[in-house]
């Protein structure tokens, strides 16, 4: 078994009710398996990050600080992170 840590930020943390949690997946598991384990029982978060059954384009996925793909494998003590688009320059005053 492999235990990895998830970090969530901004409104993703608010929707999930947690900023940090660990999940345990089987040996040889992928980032996608770890994501499924995270979203299991967190339907609000699933609705927030999924778009038509796949991870929405605007959601960032990092593994140990670098961009990650769903198909890569995870290792013990990895840190995975999910977060919305970073702060950018726009403010409410630009909204359409």
Residues near another protein (CB under 8 A):
7, 9-11, 58, 60, 62, 65, 81, 83-95
Nearest one of 2, 12, 4 to 60, comparing CA atoms = 12
| Closer CB to another protein, 1 or 95, in the complex | 95
Which helix (H) or strand (E) element contains residue 67? strand 66-67
Minimal distance, residue 18 CB to another protein, in Å:
14
Minimal distance, residue 45 CB to another protein, in Å:
15
Minimal distance, residue 29 CB to another protein, in Å:
22
The DSSP line for 13-42 is: HHHHT-SEEEEEE-TT-BHHHHHHHHHTT-
| Closer CB to another protein, 27 or 91, in the complex | 91
């Amino acid at each position: 078994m492999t235990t990895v840590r998830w970090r969530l930020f901004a409104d993703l943390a608010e929707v999930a009710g947690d900023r940090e949690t660990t999940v345990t997946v089987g040996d040889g598991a992928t980032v996608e398996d770890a994501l499924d384990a995270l979203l299991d029982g967190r339907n609000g978060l699933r609705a927030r990050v999924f778009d038509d059954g796949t991870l929405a384009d605007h959601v960032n996925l990092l593994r140990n600080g670098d961009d990650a793909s769903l198909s890569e494998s995870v290792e013990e003590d990895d840190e995975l992170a999910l977060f919305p688009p970073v702060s950018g320059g726009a403010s409410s005053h630009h909204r359409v």
